[in-house]
Structure 1
Amino acid sequence: MVRRISALMQGINNIRIKKKLILSFILVVFVPVLIVGIFLTVAFRQNVLDQATQQITNNVERIKKQTLDIIRMPIEISDKLLVDSRLTNIVNTQYNSTFEVVKAYREFNDFRDYIKLYSEVYNIRFYTTNMTILDNWEFLKVTPAIEAEDWYKDAMKQDGIHWSYISDETKGNRNYLSLVRKISFPTYRTSGVLVIGLNPVELNNMVSQEPFDTMIIDESGYIIAAKNPNWVSKNISELDFASKLTNKAEGTYEFKFEDKPSKIVVEDLHPDSSRNGLKIVSVFSIDSIVSGANRISLLGFGIIMLSLVIAFVLIYIFSVILAKRMLLLNKDLNKVAMGDLNVISHVTGNDEIGLLSKQFNNMVVSIRGLMDEVSESHKQQALLQLRQKEIKLKMMASQINPHFLFNALESIRMKAHIKGETEISSIVRMLGKMIRRNLEVGSRMVALKDELEMVRCYLEIQKFRYGNERLTFSLDIDEAGQNIEIPPLIIQPLIENAVVHGLENVAEGGLVRLTTQIKDHMLRVEVADNGVGIHEDKMKQINEALHDMEEEGEYRIGLRNVHQRIVMIYGEGCGLQIMSEPGAGTRIVFEIPTGGHPFA
């Protein structure tokens, strides 16, 4: 994850400022505004569609209520006729002559009165099995053709009100929504079927005022009223979009109407005391609803896009101006990089680029001044080096040849050995070995055992000088690390510091202990003495001096030199650690990797 972020940041850093500004505009402004615009457009469109659906649902509820108001009167009429004694008498009387029938019809005007009084009722007729009556379009004898009709069969099977879209032989066999109800006469053990036809004009006028295609269908799927007159009297199976509506439950559905996305609202209408009911269906095209919202959305989207284009043009212009100023400053920087220190940047302004230009000019002036100072300093150093060479030549004339010194020490050692002074002979041999080794020291690594041999020689010489009463030493060496390579002269100065300074005021019983240990691929070296120790203030000065490149104070030079060499080769975690308390001696510890230079 960190690598991916680092790679992404590196990729961003490699993009030029002009492209960064344009990219930032696209990511920070263009994309968010576009997303918000699309979201608001979709939300606005959906809100309009939901409101339209709710309005259609309300309209369907209103049509349902109005339809119930229309069919309420035929239901009440049928309830009255169900218990009308005059209807019972006229239907069940056995007539002997036509005159009796005509007289009875003249005295019974209820059917005609209901039709005149209520506009919802279009026609009323009664089918009877009394063969002595005359067919007069109000009372009709049941024929085999009538008996075969489904509506007649259903009415005779079950009591109650049935609603059917049936033809009326008294009105040219045109179809009407009709209330069909069986009326029984228990006294005469007869029955008949009452048919009340509803006025189609009332139903069609009601749905024709709707803003969308609306229809009323019976349970058989016949359209009894519709906003589109061409649909009336057809079965919904003849309409592709509505062929599956017969068994649809109440609700709102999406479908294709005339190859356009549309919605359809279905509402059931089941009058009281009825065996079956009707369905109210309203169809509307989604495009017709959201077209206005789409126009508003397109207008808003166009304004947003125009604003974004103007903003993009402005960003592009600003980025070009900014990039041009940066390129001018870059050209001036390249000239300085090529060595031309007489360049003056002419990029003006008080913004960040202008401030960089001013700082650039100040930097060039400072560099020219520094170059002059360096040139003068080089001249002085060259003169100083020339003088130092002259001094060295004069000093060399008075120096003792090292080979002469070694030969002289060897002669002294041999004479001491011949005379039986073995201690003096041994000390002289170790002194010669130390002088030779110090003269041979360079930048190469040396084996730990060779460095320890130098330490042992030094301690033997100092022991000879001070005597056994004042100085003793112990070497606790881990044999596993004898061949590890270390920088030369990093242990001997610590031993020398312990002898010269640690035991400076110790008259007798002085002890210097050197310990080496190999653990976890690290060489640990510890030099300890039982001297007077170091006070807290002085310890603070020593620790500060270890990091001071200009410090030239007494014995701290050796410690500082060792510390800085170790840090330079092995890193900050491998420097000297000095621990001391007044009267309790001093310990100096350092740890270095056994594999040599960790950064090699």
Structure 2
Amino acid sequence: MKFLLKAINRFNDMKIRKKLMLIYIIVVLIPILVVGFYLTEGMRSMVIEKSIDEACTNNDRIQYRLNEIIKIANDVSDRMYFDEKLNKIVTTQYTSAADVVKVYNEYPIFDEFLRYYKEIASIRFYVENHTMLDNSQFTKVTEDTRKSYWYTRALANDGRIEWMYKTDEITGTDYLSLIRLVKDINRNRIGVLVININEDRLRALIKDEPFESIIAINEGKVVMSQNNKLRGTSIDFLSLEELKSRKEHYIVEKNYNGEESSIIMNSFSPEKASANCFQIVMIMPIANVTSKTTQISIRGISIMLVNLVLSIILITIFSKWFSERIILLRKEMHKVVTGEFNIEESIEGKDEIGELYEDLNKMMQSIKQLIHEVYEEKIQKEQLKNRQREAQFKMLASQINPHFLYNTLETIRMKAFVKGDHETAKIVKMLGKIMRRNLEVGDKPISLDSEVELVKNYLEIQRMRFGEKINYTINVDCDISNYFILPLLLQPIVENAFVHGLENKQGSGNIDLNIRAEKDNFIITVKDDGLGISPEKLEYLNKCLEDFTIGGKKSIGISNVNQRIKLYYGEEYGIKIRSRINEGTEVILILPKSKEVQGYAQSIDS
């Protein structure tokens, strides 16, 4: 314990540069050497395991594709087994060769199977009917045929399928063959069917495999191999009993052709031929698999040694540079302690030392600017209030449109002249509401209900003026009672839709006002199907919404409304405009839900 405390104290007394060198040796240098040799051996084992896994996967793929070929042959044999026409051809006693040839020409099933299934090389049907003629498909059974092993096995199996590796009597070629006795409906023998599998299709199963691959049958007789010399021979290292007892791959380590190899084997019994056993074998030489790993390991160790030498040089340079920066930081902090605030603006690097020095510099700047911040904040508040007063002035100046009042009064006169007093009273009442609102509007929020009522009165007056030319709808999809907004936010938007969108449009037009709630906001949409806005003017309007200074002193419409919204509610709220020429315009207002009735000017002052 005393030794440990002594070592800690001694370490604490060391200069930072020496500490870094010692830590590097203990934490980096020694572990890298140990881990390097450990990883080299681990990588070798991992490569071998990965190669075995890949071989197992390929083994399964070969088995699956071989099974597909076997299923095709099984299907063909079943179809021929139950073919009544084939039964009749084979059992008929013919009186002339012409009759036989005619029957052959009228039975194209063999050729069709060969044409449709490229997996099949040939089909032979061995018959006892000696009135038939031999050809590439029908063959009369001879004494040699009766004595052959495959023929006797077919008779013994009594209609069951069996797979063999045999020589075709006609071509002399060795094939993997399906052999089956065919009977009629009365269970009488009519012949033996032999379906030979195309060896090119079998070769295609294994030709692209990275390891030597073998397909064997029954007692290990090689049906197909990448090494053609093995075809027809028996594999002596197969343990069939061991293979049959395992559901997964059987992997053994053996010496094959003088090389240490991992042999991956798998066996399966094909469908409808449980007496047969197919084996798929892959031979993976260990030396070939690990050759690249060994080369990489040698190169890796060499690179590691070079890197260690370079790292020692670099850590020496770095520790010197690091120590100098620490010394510089200590000197500058000492200046601050003595009351000198004029320190160097920055230090090299943006690491923790650089960030610490930057924080020190910012702290000095904060102290200097502490007094100025109070005055700057007051100045900003005054500027905000001035902009607000200017917006309010523009709003009040634009509330009464003489042209609108003139046309409204003229409409009242015409209506009073043509129609009765009820309609005149109605339009005068609505006009009175609008004029009273414009004259009494202040700086406090008003209920959203009353703002919608104002818009409705305005639209109803315009409809009385223009008749069926103007149609409107007001849809409120949420509860707006007890909610408040700034005054005269909606009416200028609706007026713009009418004046700029519908007034000069040929035919009738529509204005739709929709209000819906979305989380904590109201989404208010004013849409018309009028003349629309050209892309150039729409771009200019959007710029005015983003920058209040572009519109100038005359900007009292949508830009004015957008400015008031942002000043009062915040930058995340405001107006969006969408429009297409001759299709219409859509103006979207995003406002927060608010139930507080507080002074507009008072909120700015606070």
Same fold (TM over 0.5): no
TM-score w.r.t. the length of structure 1 is 0.44
- Structure label with greater radius of gyration: 1
